[in-house]
Amino acid sequence: MADDAPKTDQPPKDLVGFLDYYLVKKAPFQLPDNAKEWIVKYGPWIAVVLIVLLLPPMLFVLGLGAIFLPFGGYAYATGFTYVTLLLLVELGLDIAALPGLFARKMQGWRLIFYARIIAIVSGLLTANVLGALVGGLISLYILFQVRGLYLDKTETAAPPVVQP
């Protein structure tokens, strides 16, 4: 008896396993391998461009809040609401994930996954339910489709073959 446990086609109980089950194994459409490779190869560069484009408006909005300090009060002037804090955390996770994404490490993938979860929560908290759910589903689908191309830190490359 190799395996006494009954085989069930049930999704795992953890969040990553659950999403992997439905967005990869049970998904009606799989991304082609060349599309996955393109996303993994050029995705970090696209993220760098988007982060660079996002930084000036973000700094402008945070700085603009200081101008309105006499008129709107402390909370309005600083702009530090829970949405701004979530946006800063999301941006920080995106920046922290870049080295891992370029090196195709699972650690970079996990940080992007956490950033997407925070983006979904932020969208839901701002009452953008449809945008958060549709955008979150699309981003998680793509993220889980390319997950297999990232190496876990416990995985090592094959040792070099030494010719005698």
- State percent of the chain over pLDDT 90: 60
Please give the Cα distance from 77 to 92 (Å, whole number).
22
Nearest in space to 43 (alpha carbons), one of 103, 91, 88, 87? 103
Q: What pLDDT sits at residue 1?
A: 45
Distances (CA, A) of 140 to 74, 97, 105, 117, 152: 36, 16, 17, 9, 19
The domains of the chain are located at 31-149
Q: pLDDT per residue over 39-90, tens digit each?
A: 999 999 999 999 999 888 877 777 766 666 666 665 555 556 778 788 889 9
- Please answer whether residues 116 and 162 qualify as being in contact, where contact means their C-beta atoms are separated by less than 8 angstroms: no
> Tens of pLDDT along 90-133?
999 999 999 999 999 999 999 999 999 999 999 999 889 999 99
